[in-house]
């Protein structure tokens, strides 16, 4: 019964987040109010939020509250400013310069724990049934590549770039409710993972560059036409 209750709580929380149209870093209602709105006990809600937080959909800070998106170490005011002055094509250019080299270094420095995380993220991307969930795991996949470099400065550079990308005001119009089985990013992620696992830095950089080029063609071109 307890497992059924937790599954129900998780479904209620997912539905709530999906239908409220929150923006990145929006604050959720206080835990007491949210528990009442969803018809859950606070302990059951906390357990559901633990799962959602592990998926990168929310982050929590004691004394401040619960926020939409993955936790960022970057100053949010600076991120908002950079986002306001940056075009989508500029974000794409920056990604094409930085992320292939992160993938190259990840192929040289990654550990088994990094490979497990990359494989897990790719699997969750494939099983995602809506765009919000897919984009959360896509974001976590790219973050895992950065972490696999084992270079804290480069990880922070990536986090800054990624925070600007995720908080940009432009949005892509989706023609489907979620990614299809043939969605290009799925196989592109797999190619990046395979190259990193094989410790092939050139192939990892090339695979990341091809992926980001594909993303630019599919998502950026339509925005700036």
Number of domains in the chain: 2
Confidence (pTM): 0.70
Is the domain of 159 the same as that of 206?
Answer: yes
Could you say which of 39, 68, 97 is where a domain stops?
Answer: 68
In a shared domain, residues 128 and 38: no
Does 62 share its domain with 150? no
- Same domain for 136 and 180? yes
What CATH number should be reported for the domain holding residue 55?
1.10.10.10
Do residue 87 and residue 27 come from a single domain? no
Give the DSSP letter string of the chain: -HHHHHHHHHHHHHHHHHHTTPPTTPBPPPHHHHHHHHT--HHHHHHHHHHHHHTTSEEEETTTEEEES----S-HHHHHHHHHT--HHHHHHHHHHHHHHHHHHHHHH--HHHHHHHHHHHHHHHH--SHHHHHHHHHHHHHHHHHTTT-HHHHHHHHHHHHHHHH-S--PPPSSSS--TT-HHHHHHHHHHHHHHTT-HHHHHHHHHHHHHHHIIIIIHHHH-
Show the domain range for 28: 1-68
pLDDT in tens, the chain (225 residues): 467 778 899 999 988 988 877 766 788 999 999 999 999 999 999 999 998 887 777 888 777 889 887 666 566 677 788 888 888 889 999 999 999 999 999 999 999 989 999 999 999 999 998 888 898 889 889 999 998 999 988 988 998 898 888 776 555 556 677 788 889 999 999 999 999 999 999 999 999 999 999 999 887 655 544
Look at residues 68, 100, 117 and tell me which one is the last residue of a structural domain: 68
Domain boundary among 51, 68, 85: 68
Indicate which CATH number applies to the domain containing 126: 1.20.120.530
């Amino acid at each position: 019964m307890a497992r059924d209750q937790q599954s129900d709580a998780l479904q209620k929380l997912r539905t709530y987040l999906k239908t409220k149209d929150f923006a990145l870093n929006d604050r959720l209602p206080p835990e007491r109010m949210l528990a009442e709105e969803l018809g859950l006990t606070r302990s059951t809600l906390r357990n559901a939020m633990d799962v959602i937080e592990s998926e990168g959909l929310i982050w929590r800070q004691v004394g401040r509250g619960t926020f939409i998106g993955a936790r960022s170490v970057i100053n949010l005011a600076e991120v908002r400013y950079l986002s306001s002055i940056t075009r989508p094509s500029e974000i794409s250019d920056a990604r094409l310069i930085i992320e292939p080299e992160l993938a190259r270094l990840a192929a040289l420095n990654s550990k088994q724990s990094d490979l497990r995380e990359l494989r897990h993220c790719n699997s969750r991307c494939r099983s995602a049934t809506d765009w919000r969930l897919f984009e959360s795991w896509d974001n976590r996949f790219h973050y895992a590549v950065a972490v696999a470099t084992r270079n804290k400065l480069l990880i922070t550079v990536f986090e800054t770039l990624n925070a600007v990308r995720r908080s940009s005001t432009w949005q892509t119009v989706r023609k489907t409710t979620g990614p299809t089985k043939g969605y290009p990013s799925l196989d592109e992620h797999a190619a990046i993972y395979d190259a990193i696992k094989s410790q092939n830095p050139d192939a990892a950089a090339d695979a990341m560059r091809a992926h980001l080029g594909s993303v630019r063609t599919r998502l950026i071109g339509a925005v700036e036409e």
